[in-house]
Amino acid sequence: MPTLQHLPADASPEAIAEILDSDGALILDDVIPPGQVAAVMAELTPYIEATPNGVDEFTGFSTTRTGALVARSPASRDLVAHPAILAACDAYLLRACDRYQLHLTQVIRLRPGQGRQVLHRDKLAWGGFLKGVEPQLNTIWAMTDFTQANGATQVVPGSPSWPEGRRAEPHEIGYAEMKAGSVLVYSGSVIHAGGENRTGADRVGINITYCLGWLRQEENQYLSCPPAIARTLDRKLQALLGYAMGSYALGYFTPPLPPGQGPEIAPPQAALGEAAAGWGEDLRAAINEREKAKTPSPS
């Protein structure tokens, strides 16, 4: 049985990206302390308990999936915008976009008796249309200890490079066993699935995923966290949700106002009350800095 590589919480973004390229997944150990785990769970437990089980084998007949975490749980926002994860997104996703965005937030609770989920790749959310591009960086934050017995995520290291249609044999499947407060980081191309919960207790993880800024999000953040809530958030978190341009000309809107009472072209953050003037400057500056870093200095 293969084992996933474990890195310390302060591992470099480059080290994380390198393992994602080769294995497709790794575990960052002890990223948040028990008190922070408890704070997140205290806010989310009422929503989790009110969530019904899944309706098919993929979502899990003994699994609950609870979303809209940014709007519902202030404590979860620190996970969404965790510096170590965003630095890894910078190193891994900015190869193929000017800005990445929040793709999905979801508490996944595997209840006792939940069987194994079918193995799959998350990038298939966009069908089979993405070839040669890694579209996402995914995380599962352990809110309880993850063990093979209680449904630790199944992962097939090295599978991102496999041809489509190749199926994993049992001896090729590893398990993301980790302590509460640790994080499974994995790509959209790695084959994985929820495990089987053979214990008498719930296994709870928080799935937070980021994708390229020019792709459609799985969880529609504009509806899960509408402007009335988003305008109260930190600007960086607003941008992650999608209230920012995905590139110079990707994501603007025209406010449907009477003639002459508003701009014809405005960035998404204008819906939060920010001025539309100079909206492209921060993105252009970031792109220029990246290009400058790629250019060798003269000898």
String of DSSP letters for 208-224: EEEEETTS--SS-HHHH
Domain ranges of the chain: 6-212, 245-299
At residue 278, the pLDDT reads 52
At residue 249, the pLDDT reads 81
H helix runs in 32-76, sequence order: 34-49, 69-72
Q: Compute how many other C-beta atoms are within 10 angstroms of the C-beta atom of residue 134.
A: 21
* DSSP symbol at 151: T
Q: Which amino acid is at 214?
A: W
At residue 275, the pLDDT reads 59
At residue 131, the pLDDT reads 86
| Predicted TM-score of the model (pTM) | 0.91
Q: Name the β-bridge partners of 185.
A: 26, 139
Q: Enumerate residue ranges in the chain where pLDDT < 50.
A: 276-277
Q: Within 13 A of 44's CA, how many CA atoms are on the CB side?
A: 29
Q: Name the β-bridge partners of 64.
A: 53, 109
* DSSP symbol at 156: E
At residue 29, the pLDDT reads 98
CATH number of 6-212: 2.60.120.620
Residues 44 and 143: their CA atoms lie apart, in Å, by 11
Which DSSP helix (H) or strand (E) runs through 229?
helix 227-230
Contact 244, 251 (CB under 8 A): yes
At residue 248, the pLDDT reads 79
At residue 295, the pLDDT reads 62
User: Over the stretch 118-161, which tens digit does the pLDDT of each residue have?
Assistant: 999 999 999 888 888 999 999 999 999 999 999 999 999 999 99
At residue 264, the pLDDT reads 84
With b for 16 or more beta-carbon neighbours within 10 A and e for fewer, the 221-247 pattern comes to beebbebeebeebeeebbbbbbbbbbe
CB neighbour class for 79 (10 Å; exposed up to 12, middle 13-18, buried from 19): buried
Taking alpha carbons only, the member of 14, 13, 16 closest to residue 186 is 16
Residues 12 and 236: their CA atoms lie apart, in Å, by 21
User: Over the stretch 185-217, which tens digit does the pLDDT of each residue have?
Assistant: 999 999 999 999 999 999 999 999 999 999 999
Which DSSP helix (H) or strand (E) runs through 137?
strand 136-142
